[in-house]
Amino acid sequence: MILLSVILFPNTLLAKGLSLKFLVPISNLSYTIYIWHLLLSLISFGAIKFFFPSLFETGLAFFILSLFD
């Protein structure tokens, strides 16, 4: 609902508040965390097997990859 109201009414106080310059990096970081959390959760519970010898190395690899997003 918030996203829809910001898109439909871009001149509202809510839309202007969410587009403040200091919030943009925070939103980019939170989106990156959102994208990777499901995959990392599946890896940690063993639902997905990768060719890495340990969970630490798998997490480290995904962390490094997320830096290039």
pLDDT at 47 (0 to 100):
62
69 falls in which pLDDT band (50, 70, 90)? low
- Per the rule left: phi > 0, alpha: psi between -120 and 50, beta: everything else, 43 is alpha
pLDDT tens digits, residue range 34-64? Answer: 878 877 777 777 666 655 567 777 777 788 8
**For 16-31, what is the mean pLDDT?**
85
Entry pTM: 0.41
* Closest C-alpha to 36, from 19, 60, 3, 12: 60
3-state helix, strand, coil in the chain (%, to 5): 70, 0, 30
- Per the rule left: phi > 0, alpha: psi between -120 and 50, beta: everything else, 9 is beta
The domain segmentation of the chain, as residue ranges, is: 20-67
pLDDT at 50 (0 to 100):
57
Place of tokens 């871009």: 10
